[in-house]
Amino acid sequence: MEAETHRYGKLEWLFYIVVLPLLFTALLSGIILQFLGVDVTGKIASGAKQIPGVSYLFPSEEQAMPVTAEAEEQQKQELNDQMQALESENKQLEEDLTKKNAEIDRLKKQVDSLKKAKEGDPGAGASATSVEPKTVDPLTEQANVYAEMSSSKAAAIMVELSASEAKRILDKMNSEQKASILEKMEPAIAAQILAAK
């Protein structure tokens, strides 16, 4: 019997000695990398999508992640809730602004009426506030008006007056009322009023 020796051809030798060990090594490396957290399959799929003729085998991204009607409705509901919250906040801010503007207008009218009353216009004070008979000193009357206001509002108005005028009005008040109004003013302005003659 003759022993038949089989000689490998160049292509067989290339396949058994080079290609198969390389495929085995690549497969084993891919499995190890996948276990270590590297997205090997994703990278291979993205590379295969670039090859013409192979790309139709992989689903497109829109098909891969279908948006359900529930998720879409939930997003719409969340957006509607946010919009309603913003609208209600906007309405509240507009109402606050209207109230503040009304308060500012009222205080301006009161300041104007007090200035006119100070200048001696007898009809001006009576139209804005109820004025007692003429026997009452106008400065005492103004001091009573400021004393009835909150101290922060009275301080805001008195800052607009001249220092001597504010000093004369403060002199007609008791010390508690003076202190509460002066503490609401800036220190420099309060010092000017107290130093006025």
pLDDT tens digits along 137-152: 888 888 888 888 888 9
Is residue 133 assigned to a domain? yes
The two tokens of residue 67 are: 């948006």
Residues 53 and 113 in one domain: no
Is the domain of 17 the same as that of 99? no
Considering the domain boundaries, does residue 38 fall inside one? yes
Say if 176 falls within a structural domain: yes
Distance CA 108, CA 13 (A): 104
Give the tens place of pLDDT for each residue, 143-190. Answer: 888 888 888 998 998 888 888 888 989 998 998 888 999 899 999 988
Domain shared by 108 and 42, yes or no: no
Half-sphere exposure at residue 87, Cβ-oriented, CA atoms within 13 angstroms:
6
> Given this model, what pLDDT does residue 77 score?
92
Average pLDDT score, the chain: 83
Q: Same domain, yes or no, for 41 and 105? A: no
Only one residue has tokens 């080079």, namely 18
Choose from 25-29, 128-132, 181-185 the range with maximum mean pLDDT: 25-29
Please tell me whether residues 191 and 134 are part of one structural domain.
yes
Residue 192 CA: distances (Å) to CA of 44, 114, 132, 139, 173: 82, 21, 31, 19, 18
Decide if 178 is inside a domain: yes
Query: What's residue 124's pLDDT?
Result: 46
Residue 22 belongs to some domain of the structure: yes
Cα distance between residue 160 and residue 135, in whole Å: 27
Whether the per-residue pLDDT at 100 is higher than 60: the answer is: yes
Q: Are residues 56 and 116 in the same domain?
A: no
**Residues 111, 169 within the same domain:** yes
With both helix axes pointing from N to C terminus, report the angle between 138-148 and 163-171 in degrees, rounded to the nearest 10: 80
Whether residues 128 and 191 fall in one domain: yes
Tell how far CA 115 is from the center of its chain: 41
- For 15, the domain range is 10-60
Number of domains in the chain: 2
